[in-house]
Structure 1
Amino acid sequence: MGNSQEPGVAEKEFAPAHARHLMTRILSDRFSERAAGKEPKDGGDDDAEALPPWLTEADIDYFAAAFEKTGFTGAINYYRNMDRNWELAAPWADAKVAVPTKFIVGDGDLTYHYAGIQDYLHKGGLKADVPLLEELVVVPGAGHFIQQERAQEVSDHIHDFIAKF
């Protein structure tokens, strides 16, 4: 596979014609399942697997239609521009989040499994950067799209948090 930052390489892999397949994989992905060695039931065709209960064919159709029309270049360019994004955000690099905060993440979210993140979250790093952190919630079995996957649970957490203000 080529360098996805080279113009045209990523666009081929993320071609609008592949939008339905890509959106199905992206929205259905569970890092915790892959880490546990679970393979697709049919031997590898991700689109043939049943969608998770929170995701419908109509949802996939909606996102696929949008990306079939626009392509993925805008999203790809965000990652191509990562160094510049960091440069632009540099003035706030040491800023603290100075409002009451509740942090919610799914244990199947790929970002929850980045190197060092769990130590950062659970051993004081997040609290140091977010001094008014009131609670860190890790939702078992939920992935990156937690607000859709566990809509009622997330809504309850948000309601309970803001009801005290």
Structure 2
Amino acid sequence: MIDINHRRVHTNGIWMHIAEKGQGPLVLLIHGFPELWSCWKYQINHLAEHGYHVVAPDMRGYGDSDSPQDPESYTIFHLVGDLIGLLDELGEEQAFVVGHDWGAQIAWNLCLFRPDRVKALVNLGVAYMPRSPELKPTEIFSKLYGEGFYISQFQEPGVAEKSFSKYDSLTVLKKLLLVNAPDIIAAPAGVEIIDFLHTPSSLPEWVNLEDLQSWAEKFNATGFTGALNYYRAMDK
């Protein structure tokens, strides 16, 4: 991560930490759950070397960015607003946008709300989910997959945090990021999702233990409430 610059910018009422490198057209990299800006470190270096100004924020609730405790502060309007404020702070009218997981969901809605600020979009892992005032995603998930579905288990403030606390942060990250389960991540009745998920005995070649340990240190400091609040505001 040599020569990657770090600073905090004020956007949409919060302080957001960003990592940036390079000069040229702006590429905005948006991480997912439960990740940090540094999940993009290889892409940051590669894109900067090829003539782009690359910016990867710690999203609201993560890492060195502000982490409001109230789930009401994590609606999609807050999350998109953070990025619009970031573009304004950077003095950029448009950006190439890349999103992964929750970052993809935010990026889809950024394009929906403010297409004038997006030059092009690349999304990974999450398809576009249309919004409707008549349909609540959490209710649909519960009906389809049951109350053991991970999103359903994340809804009640404090419950998932308590179950996560039985493990160190590194183990929690391994369980969540390296899921060895069917496509539908749902625990049996009466079982916490974090207990249900397998802890891998070894890491795949593409995962760096040092990176995971650095993420774990951040989550040791911040806890997981900010990250979980994204799910608690899904219906807003």
TM-score (norm 2): 0.27
More helix by share: 1
Q: Which has the bigger relative contact order, CA under 8 A and spacing at least 6?
A: 1
- Look at both structures and tell me which one has the larger radius of gyration over its CA atoms: 1
More strand by share: 2
